[in-house]
């Protein structure tokens, strides 16, 4: 199959959907001729015009208002917030308005937008350009939260998100933009709320999100050389969560390691752990549920410090070995 | 455009009657939750919305009963919502602060000061993108109400700027009722007129006597004309006054009774009624009749709401997601 980078897959999804549905448009800072801070929308303004690829002032609250309001009129906007850190400016509109409008108004209205934003560390951008704030959004009823890890998934999930009738927070990862993988040219959707087993194994389950799926798969390959077969499960959407797929895997392996980049305290891993502990998989657990997550510190600038702030392949290998060998 | 002035008077009186009843129901313990009354500000709501076409949209505020009624809401459904009933506009999920009549073009009251200013800009963007010069009826516009307090939020700055640079069909109506909860505009602004800020965004700004219905109607009509012609947004400031406290917990410690009484002398309803009678557009008897009918309609709405069913707990999770 043809290969694309994750970034190209995002762009292809946007491009194809804008060709298919004239209600879809892009809005954000520097998304026009600049092509977006990471180049995701490069070439799109030349093809679709400034009316459908809209550059904005540096007004994240305004961007959130623009997509919320436009969605109310029947459009299907795709907003971009340049760094996830800057969603902090947009929170009022996303959390108080977009997320709650349908419920507050007795189900009489729909707010179909996607807000794309890149999260994550590893670029040396330090504390204000590296955060992973997905848990904030997961905690808000009315929002859906998607966190794709592969080029294939990012295209199918983005198309599904744009066609969804709810506000969707679509979290990309800067370090994933350059990874390559097979992506069909045709349009396809991946239903929100369906996890994916990225690798099968019988000794332990690794539930990982976003960039950590990539690292977990690398770790699993190393573990296999040592005779440990890890199953890697990617929830793909944090909300809605495919609880069944995760529970099924943990029931099979009896051990689970949860890996995410965001800070450990209050992170999504706590939710996953609670889901597993409260399910029938509890009876199959042979060891405590283990979480491997970012340290509870802001992301440091220094390369070495930054590296040691979030889980790396060797951390996953080490934690998985301890877990699989009954040392936890 | 011509207006049925009797109908405008009827709308103002209906708002007054609704809110007096709302207050009464609250005092009687029949309403759960808070509310924000716009008694004394009726000309602002009615005058502004009279400048719109029925298919235009509005975004309202926490003090939004008047906007809702002026936009043509069904009083029964509105009262049912106020009383938290299943057949209210929002199935009892929204209440006073979130009443929306989406079919009627009211995209909702808003519990967050300034929250609607940005959403309205987005609505304007969406309407603008769907506008086709060869298709009549696609030249709809959106009118956004907000208060003096909201004009000091970042959302005001970001949204007015974006609406202006894209020439969006938005009419921003600032209802300056003198106080953001307890904080006087005299302390909150270093400028005399909030509408002066319009210049900073490259849009026209006008300040009018918000208790003079025809003055409001005139100023907002100009803004609507401009928006509909594709020339962009405007800011209209209606200077008015809320007679009641900010909400039910307000002990009026920040203002004097004399000040409140002085503003009551400028009652927009009394004033408009007198104007119509003086112009010969209405007799005293007809005016009385309008008032009686308005209060009767509110009584009927209460009866409807009281007879309406409560939502059931089985449906509690409905409507979060589409």
- Copy the structure tokens of residue A210: 């976003």
**Closest among A195, A298, A301 to A248, alpha carbons compared:** A195
Check pLDDT > 90 for residue A326: no
A3-182 carries CATH number 3.40.50.150: no
Residue of A nearest to B128 (CA): A70
Asked if B121 lies within 8 A of A65 by C-beta distance, the reply is yes
Give, for all 322 residues of chain B, the pLDDT tens digit: 678 999 999 999 999 999 999 999 999 999 988 899 999 999 999 999 999 999 999 999 999 999 999 999 999 999 999 999 999 999 999 999 999 999 999 999 999 999 999 999 999 999 999 999 899 899 999 999 999 999 999 999 999 999 999 999 999 999 999 999 999 999 999 999 999 999 999 999 999 999 999 999 999 999 999 999 999 999 999 999 999 999 888 889 999 999 999 999 999 999 999 999 999 999 999 999 999 999 999 999 999 999 999 999 999 999 999 9
The CA distances from residue B66 to A249, B12, B47, B96, in Å, are 56, 8, 11, 11
Kindly give, in sequence order, each residue whose CB lies less than 8 Å from that of residue A122, ignoring residues fewer than 6 positions away.
A130, A174, A175, A211, A306, A310
Number of Cβ pairs closer than 8 Å across A and B?
A: 144
Looking at residue B1, its pLDDT comes to 67
Q: Tell me where in chain A the CATH 3.40.50.920 domain(s) lie.
A: 196-324
B318 within a domain of the structure (yes/no): no
| Confidence tier at A242 by pLDDT (50, 70, 90) | very high
Nearest to B173 by CA among B254, B16, B66: B66
CA distance A161 to chain B (A): 13
Domain A196-324 listed as CATH 3.40.50.920 = yes
User: Chain A: nearest CA to B279, how far in angstroms?
Assistant: 42
3-state secondary structure of B188: helix
Residue A183 has pLDDT above 90, yes or no: yes
For the record, the structure tokens of B135 come out as 């298709």
Interface with chain B: mutation pick from A66, A90, A95, A115, highest number of B CBs within 10 Å: A66
Structural domain count, chain B: 1
Instruction: Name the nearest CA neighbour of A145 among A277, A268, A274, A59.
Output: A268
**Which residue has 């007809």 as its token pair?**
B286
Sign (positive or negative) of CA dihedral A85, A86, A91, A93: negative
Chain B residues with CB-CB distance to A165 below 8 A: 322
Residue A253 touches chain B, beta carbons under 8 Å: no
State the pairing for strand pair A114-119/A256-263.
unpaired
In a domain, B310, yes or no: no
Smallest CA–CA separation between A127 and chain B, in Å? 24
**Among the residues of A105-236, which ranges form H helices?**
134-138, 151-163, 211-225
The encoded tokens of residue A53 equal 């690829």
**Residue of B98, B165, B316, B321 to mutate for A, most A C-beta atoms under 10 A:** B321
Q: Residue B82 is encoded by which pair of tokens?
A: 């106020």
- Residue B34's CATH number: 3.40.50.970
The answer to whether position B79 is within a domain reads yes
Instruction: Indicate whether B121 belongs to any domain.
Output: yes
Q: pTM of the full predicted structure? A: 0.97
| Residue B219 belongs to domain spanning | 5-304
Helix (H) or strand (E) holding A78: strand A76-80
Average pLDDT over residues A201-210: 98
Q: What is the average pLDDT across A20-41? A: 98
* pLDDT of A284 above 70: yes
Residue B209, pLDDT score: 98
In chain A, CATH 3.40.50.970 covers: 3-182
Burial B121-137 (b: 16+ CB within 10 A, else e): bbbbbbbbbbbeeeeee
From the list B98, B158, B320, the residue facing A62 with the nearest CB is B158
- Residue B58: beta bridge partners? B106, B143
Is B130 part of a structural domain of the chain?
Answer: yes
Residues of A serving a catalytic function are 129
């Amino acid at each position: 199959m043809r290969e694309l980078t994750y970034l190209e897959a995002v762009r292809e999804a946007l491009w194809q959907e804008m060709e298919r549905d004239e209600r879809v448009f892009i809005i954000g800072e520097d998304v026009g001729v600049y092509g977006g801070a990471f180049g995701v929308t490069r070439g799109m303004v030349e093809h679709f015009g400034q009316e459908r690829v809209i550059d904005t002032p540096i007004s994240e609250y305004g961007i959130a208002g623009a997509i919320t309001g436009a969605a109310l009129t029947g459009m299907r906007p795709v907003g971009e917030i340049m760094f996830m850190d800057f969603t902090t400016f947009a929170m009022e509109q996303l959390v108080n308005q977009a997320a709650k409008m349908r419920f507050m108004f007795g189900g009489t209205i729909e707010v179909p937008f996607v807000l794309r934003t890149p999260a994550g560390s590893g670029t040396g951008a330090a504390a204000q350009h590296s955060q992973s704030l997905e848990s904030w959004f997961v905690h808000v009823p009315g929002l859906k939260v998607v966190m794709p890890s592969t080029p294939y998934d990012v295209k199918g999930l983005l198309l599904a998100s744009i066609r969804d009738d709810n506000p969707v927070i679509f979290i990309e990862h800067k370090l994933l933009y350059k990874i390559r993988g097979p992506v069909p040219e045709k349009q396809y959707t991946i239903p929100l709320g369906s996890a994916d087993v990225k690798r099968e194994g019988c000794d332990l389950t690794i539930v990982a999100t976003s960039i950590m799926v990539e690292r977990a798969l690398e770790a699993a390959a190393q573990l296999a050389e040592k005779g440990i077969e890890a199953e890697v499960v990617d929830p793909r959407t944090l909300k809605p969560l495919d609880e069944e797929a995760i529970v099924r895997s943990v029931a099979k392996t009896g051990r689970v390691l949860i890996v995410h980049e965001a800070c450990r305290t209050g992170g999504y891993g706590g939710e996953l752990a609670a889901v597993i502990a409260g399910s029938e998989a509890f009876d199959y657990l042979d060891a405590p549920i283990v979480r491997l997550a970012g340290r509870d510190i802001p992301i440091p600038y220094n390369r070495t410090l930054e590296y040691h702030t979030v889980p790396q392949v060797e951390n996953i290998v080490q934690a998985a070995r301890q877990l699989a060998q009954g040392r936890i | 455009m011509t207006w049925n002035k009797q109908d405008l008077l009827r709308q103002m009186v209906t708002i007054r009657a609704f809110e007096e009843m709302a207050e009464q129901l609250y005092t009687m313990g029949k309403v759960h939750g808070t509310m924000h009354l716009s008694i004394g500000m009726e000309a602002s709501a009615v005058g502004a919305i009279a400048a719109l076409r029925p298919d235009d949209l509005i975004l309202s505020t926490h003090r939004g009963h008047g906007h809702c009624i002026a936009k043509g809401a069904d009083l029964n459904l509105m009262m049912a919502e106020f009383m938290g009933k299943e057949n209210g506009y929002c199935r009892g999920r929204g209440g006073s602060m979130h009443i929306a009549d989406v079919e009627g073009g009211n995209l909702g009251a808003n519990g967050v000061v300034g929250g609607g200013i940005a959403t309205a800009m987005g609505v304007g963007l969406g309407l603008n993108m769907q506008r086709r010069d060869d298709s009549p009826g696609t030249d709809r516009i959106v009118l956004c109400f907000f208060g003096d307090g909201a004009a000091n939020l970042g959302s005001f700055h970001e949204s007015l700027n974006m609406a202006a640079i894209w020439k969006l069909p938005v009419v921003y109506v600032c209802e300056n009722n003198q106080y953001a909860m307890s904080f006087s505009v005299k302390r909150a602004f270093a400028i005399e007129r909030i509408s002066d800020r319009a210049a900073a965004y490259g849009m026209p700004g006008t300040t009018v006597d918000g208790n003079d219905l025809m003055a409001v109607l005139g100023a907002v009509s100009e803004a609507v004309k401009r928006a509909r012609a594709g020339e962009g947004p405007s800011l209209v400031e209606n200077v008015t006054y809320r007679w009641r406290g900010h909400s039910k917990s307000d002990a009026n410690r920040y203002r004097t009774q004399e000040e409140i009484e002085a503003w009551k002398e400028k009652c927009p309803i009394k004033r408009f009624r007198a104007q119509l009678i003086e112009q010969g557009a209405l007799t005293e008897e007809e005016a009385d009749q309008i008032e009686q009918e308005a209060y009767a309609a509110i009584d009927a709405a209460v009866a409807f709401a009281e007879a309406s069913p409560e939502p059931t707990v089985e449906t509690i999770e409905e409507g979060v997601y589409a």
